[in-house]
Amino acid sequence: MASKGTASALIVLASLLLTWPGGAHAEPYAGLFAGVALSNSTDVDLKLSPATFNDVELNRSVVVGGKAGFFLEAPVLGGNTGLELEVYHFRPDIDRQTVIVSATGGTGTTTFDAVDLHVTAIGLNGLYRFPLARDGDFPHGRLQPYAGVGLGAFIAHLETRTTVLDVNMDFGDTDVRVGVQALAGARFFLTPHLALFGEYKFVHTDDLKFNLVSDPGTRGGLTTGEVNKLQFDLTTHMLQAGIAYHW
């Protein structure tokens, strides 16, 4: 239900962004960015046979994306407010590792198998920027520190491989969850319309839930299918830089 509500909110806000009237004295922009995504370790819950894999490490990943938005030219406390739509992708894969597992029977160590995790986010951010180094060519400031908060829909696809009765099987699942994000950065204008920017972004999602059903089959008259339910949240810090064009 939460994911559906967030999707509806994103659609409404995206519609406002795309249909904002030109006469409202808005400054639109669009840009591309790339950087690094650093995800925190997380606890992974196994639901069918209740157990928790503690502090599972996620890999560092490249993040790439694009954004489009606008700033209202009417000043607020000396700066400008804006709205931004962005889409980005990163891969915080999990390598095979030894972890502590907590289950009904007690606590011990076990091997957590490697998984591939692809995450695509569609986010909407409310922004505030402050103008510095103003002059005639740069009425909103040549240097513009900014900060913002937003909501996102996070589309995550998890793939893994297991061996059942000596048969290797690949299987996976896709889930969509709500996430929140906060960002801060600065733009520096090379020309009145072209700017470089760098920013830090903090991302946290609701619990991602994956139903992993391997392809059923038989070997020696025995079923080789397997079902698992994995659940974990995702907390990621992103450092990124890009280039944007302002109209």
Question: Domain residue spans in the chain?
Answer: 2-246
pTM of the full structure = 0.84
Mean of the pLDDT values across residues 26-32? Answer: 95
pLDDT tens by residue, 113-140: 899 999 999 999 999 999 999 999 999 9
Given a contact cutoff of 8 angstroms between Cβ atoms, the answer to whether 85 and 17 are in contact is yes
Q: Is 239 exposed, middle or buried (0-12, 13-18, 19+ CB in 10 A)?
A: middle
Domain 2-246, architecture per CATH: Beta Barrel (2.40)
Mean of the pLDDT values across residues 198-214? Answer: 91
Q: Is 108 exposed, middle or buried (0-12, 13-18, 19+ CB in 10 A)?
A: exposed
State how far the Cα of 109 lies from the Cα of 86, in Å rounded to an integer. 40
Mean pLDDT of the chain: 86
| Residue 69 tokens, joined | 């938005």
- For residue 181, pLDDT over 60 is answered with yes
